[in-house]
Amino acid sequence: MVLNVVYVALGGAVGAALRYLLGIGVVRLVGQGFWNGFPVAIITVNVIGSFLMGAFVVLAAQRGLTHLSPLVMTGLLGGFTTFSAFSLETVNLMERGAYGAATFYVAVSIVGAVGALMLGMAVTRGMLA
């Protein structure tokens, strides 16, 4: 139990740092002005994180790696994905009166994340077949 807590904490620290760095990289790549404050970095992190979650679920189940779930799923990917930030960005858009952008953001985030998770599972199953 204690070791799992350590794994979650270590994975969470690494995941949060990766989220931060990827967010900076996305903003530098596409620029802040082009998106006019739209949270493209958060969408990118959520979709990538969901893909990786889907891939790990299949890999862990097929290769007997479920013991790594506290480190990888709860820690690393839990620290990496940002649905709390997603909620905040949605409310920020709504408070600015950008209801269309908020709706678009929610739809793209949810469809993108669920689709990426399914794609991650399918790609990993194909690679392991």
Annotated binding-site positions for Na(+): 78, 81
* C-alpha distance across the termini of the chain, in Å: 34
| 129: DSSP letter | -
Residues annotated within a binding site: 78, 81
Q: Which tokens belong to 115?
A: 């689709």
> Kind and range of the H or E element at 66?
none
Go through the chain and tell me how many residues it has.
129
Q: Which tokens belong to 5?
A: 């807590």
Tell me the one-letter amino acid at 107.
Answer: A
Q: Which tokens belong to 78?
A: 């839990």
Residue 107 burial by Cβ neighbours in a 10 Å radius (0-12, 13-18, 19+): exposed
